[in-house]
Chain A
Amino acid sequence: MSHSVPDEAFALAIATLPEVGPARRLVLHRAGDLRTVWSRICDGSIGCDPQVRRALGLGIGEPMLTEEYSPIIQSWQDHAASLDPAAELDRHLTAGVGVAALGSARYPGAFVEDPEPPTVVCWLGDIDDLVGPRVAIIGTRRCTQAGRDTAFELGYALSAAGVSVVSGLALGIDAAAHRGALAAGGAPPIAVVGSGLDVIYPPANRALWSQVAEAGVVLTELPLGEPPRAWHFPNRNRMIAALADVVVVVESRRRGGSLSTVAAAIRRDRDVMAVPGPVRSPAAEGSNALLRDFGVCCDATDVLLRLGMSPAARRPSAEQRPLPEGNAALILDALGWQPSTLEDLVARVHLPLEVVTLALIQLEEAGWVSEHGGWFERRAKTEFAG
């Protein structure tokens, strides 16, 4: 090993070790000079370090002998034997991925003071985009059209006001928030993902993934090739909370993953806001519960005020869609903001089926209504519709 190998190489190598999560990674990272730590992993003597032993749940009272067998340390040793840290770093750099280890100059400042900082950060795009105010917009993957529209609007307005939108590039609310930010073309969007940067998950967001990387930054603490394991996502959520000044929950289920981001935000004293949803909507159960303890977010102005920014004097944009008339207006009124089926609508408006279906087709064409699998939902303004 030459002396020119930077810390990033060892941090990446440590990140690839089996059975190592953020906590163990941090313990290893702090066990000394990274080069020395790596060589101690290679020869197994890392098993003598008291902090490492505690992290692994090994006794520290007994004599700390290298020879004492620990399957984890053995597996680290086996793994390290076949890994060249310099080549590992090279693999990332040739793939166009930026890498910064905790303690190095390029390491994002937002994580430095964090209680659980990632030991290494990999990114696509420009890491210097992590300056300026940041707001996380998060929510369920299985959202309603109304939630999707709200996330889009918030993302759009915040980005336009110079606030970076942080989210997780998941389906549903996350994707809608990013789309909104991209459509505004304002402050760069920031995405934190739960897989290696070459493993695009979910595949449906492939295009969005590269758009965010282009306009802003996609980052992760996982090395290239790491699949999207279930346990990566709570860890990813803590990074979102760490990056954000304010966390806005648009729609969350009663036990949704967004609530783990909220918990992480509370631990870090970040502001949390929730968008009120319909009382009976299961998709908004979790976010509505947050309203009891946290701030209410009805539009971007609420968030901007919380950030201490003066809301831009944004004129409410004029409605661009042709206003519905006659039966169509009646049906749009009856639709409200809850998903409804054709059957519900016919029962509500007491009009013949022919009239209702024709009016719905017109409303859909005009952008007032969207339809998915027999469910009709009212659209918010379509000036944003992506």
Chain B
Amino acid sequence: MLATVASACLIGVDGYPVTVEVHMSQGLPGFTIVGRPDASCREARDRVRAALHSSGMPLAAKKITVNLAPAGLRKTGASFDVAMALGLLIAYEMLPQSVVDDVTFIGELGLDGSIRKVPGMLPMVDAAKTDVVVVPPSAVSEALLVGKPKVRCAPDLRSLVEALTGEASWPDLPEPVEPGPSADPPDLREVRGHEVARRALEVAAAGGHHLLMVGPPGAGKTMLARRLPGLLPPLDLRTALATTRVHSAAGAELPPGGLIRVPPLRAPHHGASAVAMVGGGTGAMQPGEISLAHGGVLFLDELGEFSVDVLESLRQPLEDGSVRVVRADHRVTFPARFLLVAAMNPCPCGEADQPGACRCSPAALLRYSRRISGPLLDRFDLRVKVTRPTARELIEGPSGECSEVVAERVRRARERAWRRGVDANAQLSSKALEDCAPLKPAARALLEAALVKNQLSARGLQRVRAVALTLADLADDDPPLDSRHVAVALAMRIDLGAYYRRIA
């Protein structure tokens, strides 16, 4: 007897429809799975047999062959368990084939017959070609985001079979959870002092400019970075879906309601490998940290401690907004448009980088300066110094504006950018900048002076201009750009080379 049941599998962040074919015949009893399954996939036979037994539907020993079509695709994970169990029941003629026609089943089986969620429910439901998709109850909110197929759920194999045969009605979908206010995000109001760094955060959020903070340990670089997602506008639907797909595929927990609307913040430790950062790995291609940060912020603390390979692997995604990971078996493109925020010590001694106070030898400084390549450094439009606030500032200093007020300014600045046809000013090309960011004579003179002093490269000049445009947007000033905006943009681009030259 032959049965075919629809299911789906996950590669990278994309789902692929898979047909599970079950064939039962006379012969030596056995259970074979073909169609390039990996270990977790092959172990399904033990899970399925035990789950059926627990659900009161034991199987007689027969020769069973399961084929996962298309046979060329490598399959990983346990998403076919439910489909396999149903296929067996049909093959043993305990269930008619007609009840599973035009239904896709995605879920893992427990030995007790319960149906569980697997990573990547959202992209797999999206890939399903049938009108109905059956998922475990915990994955319903995620599956509903796709909007296309009708979503049904079943908590265990027994109730699924009863619903399919019509003995019982389908279990109700769980109540949709309102995406209520998430746990209090850190607010900018709690930051005392740091006048320049706060402004840099605002500019980074408004203009999508990558930000590098240089300062000694304990200056508050991490504290500042954690407040950046709160300044960014909520994700638009397209980005939100892409980000949710990535998080779903990585098996990360999704917010109530399923959809990620708050820009994510990812802060991988500096021991991260290149694969963990950009994605890949053996078997299923896993999205990396840069894709999990899609639409949000990637925060790299202690930038100088990351391995050089990892940092260099960021350059192409920073340019393209996506990363293409190619392995012998798979070619996968992950989305990766993120705001890069990095923090580093100015020098190995870190404690006291001020002129005349640094204890590092010239050789140590030179070694340290080589850790971050020029091209990567070039990606940071904003480079600011963060110093430890004094005790007086901490205690008496005025607390600044709250995130809400700043976020409103950021939103208005982004609206100006949208009118220029880009998401944020950082994406403006040099030519576009000529058109939409003309300079007042005094502003032009400032830039020319900086060029003459060799503070700026030609490329740097355009970046300063883009930052100045963002500053003007935030101040609700119309171009031509005023010299005060250019002055602040220049001040927010400190020359890191000076750290390593200052001893000369």
Contact = CB atoms under 8 A, between A and B. Distances in A.
Interface of A: 140-145, 147, 171-172, 202, 204, 251, 281-284, 339, 341-344, 346-347, 353-355, 357-358, 360-361, 365, 372-375, 377
Given A343-B193, A357-B490, A372-B498, 7 more contacts: A144-B355, A147-B356, A171-B503, A282-B356, A283-B357, A341-B387, A343-B195
Contacts of B197: 343
A374 B214 contact: yes
B331 interface: no
A373 B498 contact: yes
Nearest to B384: A374
Interface string B469-502: 0000000000000011101101100111111011
Contact of B356 (A143, A354, A358, A361): A143
A140 B356 contact: yes
B504 A171 contact: yes
B267 interface: no
B385 A353 contact: no
Nearest to A346: B195
A353 B387 CA distance: 16
B47 interface: no
B203 to A, nearest CB: 11
Interface in B348-394: 352-358, 362, 384-387, 393
A1 B356 CA distance: 54
Given A142-B503, A343-B195, A374-B385, A357 B491 contact: yes
Contacts of A365: 449
A251 B498 contact: no
Interface residues of B, number: 41
22 contacts: A142-B503, A145-B355, A147-B356, A251-B356, A282-B357, A283-B355, A343-B385, A343-B386, A344-B387, A346-B196, A347-B193, A347-B393, A347-B397, A353-B195, A354-B485, A354-B487, A357-B488, A361-B449, A361-B487, A372-B495, A372-B498, A377-B355
B262 interface: no
A24 B310 CA distance: 53
A64 to B, nearest CB: 45
Per CB-CB distance, the 5 closest pairs between chain A and chain B, nearest first, are: A283-B356, A373-B498, A144-B356, A374-B385, A354-B484
A144 B358 CA distance: 10
Contacts of B485: 354
A171 B495 CA distance: 20
B477 to A, nearest CB: 11
B158 interface: no
Nearest to B385: A374
Contact of A373 (B193, B357, B386, B494): B494
Interface centre among B356, B446, B501 (most CB of A within 10 A): B356
Contacts of B214: 374
Nearest to A204: B504
A127 B483 CA distance: 55
B237 to A, nearest CB: 36
Contact of A353 (B199, B352, B498, B504): B199
Interface string B447-467: 001000000000000000000
Nearest to A284: B356
Contact of A339 (B355, B362, B484, B501): B355
A306 to B, nearest CB: 26
A142 B491 contact: no
A105 B222 CA distance: 68
A342 B488 CA distance: 10
A254 to B, nearest CB: 10
B498 A141 contact: no
Contacts of B504: 171, 202, 204
A90 to B, nearest CB: 35
Nearest to B449: A365
Candidate in A284, A354, A355 with the most chain B CB atoms within 10 angstroms: A354
Nearest to B489: A357
A347 B388 CA distance: 13
A354 B488 contact: yes
B346 interface: yes
A343 to B, nearest CB: 5
A373 B488 contact: no
Contacts of B491: 342, 353, 357, 360
Nearest to A253: B359
Contacts of A374: 214, 384-385, 494, 498
Contacts of B498: 372-374
B194 interface: yes
Contact of B484 (A147, A202, A358): A358
B503 A358 contact: no
A284 B494 CA distance: 26
A361 to B, nearest CB: 6
A204 B346 CA distance: 22
Interface string B331-357: 000000000000000100000111111
Contacts of A354: 484-485, 487-488
A347 B195 contact: yes
Interface in B111-159: none
A202 B494 CA distance: 26
| Residue from B199, B355, B393, B484 whose CB has the most chain A CB atoms within 10 Å | B355
B354 A361 contact: no
B503 A141 contact: yes
A343 B194 contact: yes
A202 B387 CA distance: 31
A150 to B, nearest CB: 12
Contacts of A353: 195-196, 199, 488, 491
A145 B446 CA distance: 24
A281 B357 contact: yes
Contacts of A346: 195-196
Contacts of B362: 141, 171, 202
A142 B356 contact: yes
B487 A358 contact: yes
Most central of B197, B484, B491 by chain A CB within 10 Å: B491
Contact of B354 (A343, A355, A375): A375
Given A346-B195, A374-B214, A282 B499 contact: no
B71 to A, nearest CB: 61
B53 to A, nearest CB: 69
Contacts of B387: 341, 343-344
A331 B497 CA distance: 26
Interface in B292-339: none
A373 B449 contact: no
Contacts of B352: 282
A377 B487 CA distance: 18
Contacts of A344: 387
Given A361-B446, A374-B494, A343 B357 contact: no
A358 B354 contact: no
A361 B357 contact: no
Given A140-B356, A342-B491, A373 B346 contact: yes
Contacts of A375: 354-355, 385
A171 B490 CA distance: 28
A328 to B, nearest CB: 13
Contacts of A251: 356
Nearest to A146: B356
B215 to A, nearest CB: 9
Contact of B502 (A147, A282, A355, A373): A373
Given A365-B449, A373-B495, A339 B354 contact: yes
B393 A355 contact: no
A227 B133 CA distance: 77
